[in-house]
Structure 1
């Protein structure tokens, strides 16, 4: 084996060199050492982020080349494809990009390997972001991109963005005076509804599951969170048509000037500023942390993690590739070229980047206070239960109290059956 193996492994430092290498050997022994070509997979790369990064890696590591396989764009289809591969132990993929909510399930089923003995460093990352890759206190996935949500607003109409729900309600008079809707998130019956419900509960000081995984919706805080959303639909703060909104529908409504406030992910900022788009908001978009019941609210954590297939024959190369993707150089380019928020805290304090990315300071504030969606090996079932219960409450067909009572009972049964 050539010295390229040494350079690839060197990304992980001396700790990796100790693990089965015994130095940089020559000869065809890469499989037993966990070094060699690997396959990386993720959902459809709509931003064109990954291939240039992989090409740069391959140019430096001809003996440890990475093959890129794209999965469908749908998160559900991605998870299904990965689950089938994991269950068949075919090891078609070595490094997999995962949704932050998949960690517990994949780790509990032993589909992905712990990263603790592979020499990876997670220093300088946001603590809430790092925890999305943990299961039972062990790091199973490495954060690659981090994302929190913002309150976008008409900066030409709103001087000071609201920090509480009551301030938001008061500001809706501006929307009425201008003949536009006041506030929207994503309320269609899909994963986005779970995100918005989680934010409302967390922003009222509650939590869907406690630290030990117990459902916790029979509380004043959970009631306040759901009541905020229900009242919004009842009193018109949230326009009726938003009951069908996903991310893109809500983005378009805001960009077309139909909403005063919007809660959405960071990508909306760049799309709203593009000339020649359907946006009438160029130069008029303000960004602030989410409002909450008594002060600044709590964003849901988004982003993507990187995990290693438990059946990978080349786990050392896989770990080195992950280390490369988490390097400051790559993280910086992912932000500046493609607009994906990085996981390294230091980049958020970089004055040059702050000038290039106006929302960077706000995103840092959002990430520091953000919380992940409920952590459970049965996350898909939990999310579907939330969507099924909360959607009719927003439509006014079930009461807040009954919704939370029946949903809590459903989640108790779900958690118990998956212990």
Structure 2
């Protein structure tokens, strides 16, 4: 599941301020948990994951003494994960070797100079057989700064006892839901509409699906072009159609899942974690629970869904770069991605892993995931994404209040201000 982001616009600061604060905070870094040292110790910082230690153990065994990975667990919340790593990197901690990167963080960390570039054979191995969407999330300004760990992508989930043919567009979804409502059947469409990054992700998907842009390719200029304006209209149409959940403006991922499990909704836009959860939460409804490609913005163009997931970077300050790159390549191997997909529910980034027969039982929707990943979209690559996402979530909420042209104008102004701050959040 792509974790929610809870930043505040008022917390924006300039990079210089962060670096100063981080240096001042250096004496307390040990309180966050420190890495081990030693000739072949590779300190990996990673988010909690139930079975990930087995991946680490496997790599250590295969290394046969060449290196020994030590997994330093980060906090469970994304903000805490980012904060702990930012403080260490800003303080040039040379006992931090492998960095955990939620997919939107890459530009920020690379621009700050905290990541080593992947080149040569290391780059070739890291990029081998990686699907297009996840691969793009490892690149910034034409250079590769990470190896993919896992990915994630949202699907359209629906009840096949009330929906005979899944909608291919948002317009079709709205029309079908309105017809079901008129017939007195389960009809609600549920998605993440609270004022946080989940709403921004839906907007970004619509913009990308329409061929639009929110921010220029170089990450410096707010564009909010015609496609972005049309995407605003679609969000408003959905929110005012009479088929959105009454709790739309409070809905986050797990709340959306739970609401669908109650049986009143016909459609759900959410991450794949909802499938195993449905088997436990409502086994009877699970028999009618099906999936399809995320709906597009128009009939003549498939959706370009915003991916989630995480990557591995190598710290610029590591004293053992060769060992860190080698260890990271082991962590991202097809075998280890398959293990994590089956045991921790994190979809792989490597194309051939989806062909493994073991995938079918846990991921009966694997071909739909793979199809979306081949032409997925990423959140705009900008070092100021934390600031931008905070501004956008504020402006887009509530979706029912969107006035496409006026909202677009406000986005251009305030997103540009967020970009110009050039700040990273402490």
Fold similarity call, TM over 0.5:
yes
**What is the SS of the residue equivalent to 2:296?**
coil
> Which residue of 2 is the match for residue 406 of structure 1?
410
Alpha-carbon distance, 1:179 to partner: 4.5
> Which residue of 2 is the match for residue 268 of structure 1?
274
Q: Deviations over 1:352-382 (max 9, x none)?
A: 5335521100001111121001110111011
Distance 1:356 1:268 in 2: 12
Distance 1:81 1:109 in 2: 15
> Which residue of 2 is the match for residue 50 of structure 1?
52
Alpha-carbon distance, 1:416 to partner: 4.0
Q: 1:3-82 residue pairs with structure 2 within 5 A?
A: 36-45=40-49, 48-60=50-62, 61-62=64-65, 64-82=67-85
Q: 1:93-108 residue pairs with structure 2 within 5 A?
A: 93-108=96-111
Distance 1:150 1:103 in 2: 24
Contact kept, 8 Å, 2:391 with 2:418, in 1: the verdict is no
Greater gyration radius: 1
Distance 2:108 2:341 in 1: 29
Alpha-carbon distance, 1:279 to partner: 5.5
Q: Deviations over 1:199-220 (max 9, x none)?
A: 122223322123233322142x
Distance 2:45 2:184 in 1: 47
**What is the SS of the residue equivalent to 1:354?**
helix
Query: Structure 1 115/35 Cα, relative in aligned 2: closer, same or farther at 3 Å?
Result: farther
Q: Deviations over 1:35-55 (max 9, x none)?
A: 61111112222xx13111112
Unmatched tracts of structure 2, length 5 or more: 1-37
Structure 1 moving runs of 4+ over 4 Å = none
Alpha-carbon distance, 1:185 to partner: 1.4
1:314 corresponds to 2:317? no
1:206 corresponds to 2:209? no
> Which residue of 2 is the match for residue 364 of structure 1?
370
1:180 corresponds to 2:180? no
> Which residue of 1 is the match for residue 147 of structure 2?
142
> Which residue of 1 is the match for residue 258 of structure 2?
252
1:418 corresponds to 2:425? no
**What is the SS of the residue equivalent to 1:72?**
coil
Q: Deviations over 1:132-182 (max 9, x none)?
A: 111111110111101111011112221211001221122102255354342
> Which residue of 1 is the match for residue 88 of structure 2?
85
Contact kept, 8 Å, 2:162 with 2:186, in 1: the verdict is no
Q: 1:285-324 residue pairs with structure 2 within 5 A?
A: 285-295=289-299, 296-324=302-330
Distance 1:175 1:152 in 2: 18
Q: 1:163-242 residue pairs with structure 2 within 5 A?
A: 163-172=168-177, 173-213=179-219, 214-219=221-226, 221-242=227-248
Unmatched tracts of structure 1, length 5 or more: 1-33
Alpha-carbon distance, 1:414 to partner: 3.2
After alignment, is 259-268 or 354-363 more displaced?
354-363
Alpha-carbon distance, 1:351 to partner: 4.8
Could you state the TM-score of these two structures normalised by the residue count of structure 2? 0.84
Query: Structure 1 259/124 Cα, relative in aligned 2: closer, same or farther at 3 Å?
Result: same
Distance 1:142 1:151 in 2: 28
Q: 1:379-390 residue pairs with structure 2 within 5 A?
A: 379-390=385-396
Distance 1:192 1:289 in 2: 18
Could you state the TM-score of these two structures normalised by the residue count of structure 1? 0.85
The structure with higher relative contact order (CA 8 Å, sep 6+) is 2
1:115 corresponds to 2:118? yes
Q: Number of residue pairs matched?
A: 379
Distance 2:320 2:137 in 1: 24
Over the residues paired in the alignment, what is the CA RMSD in angstroms? 2.1
Query: Structure 1 179/241 Cα, relative in aligned 2: closer, same or farther at 3 Å?
Result: farther
Distance 1:53 1:355 in 2: 21
Distance 1:343 1:311 in 2: 27
1:162 corresponds to 2:167? yes
Distance 2:65 2:104 in 1: 34
1:325 corresponds to 2:331? yes
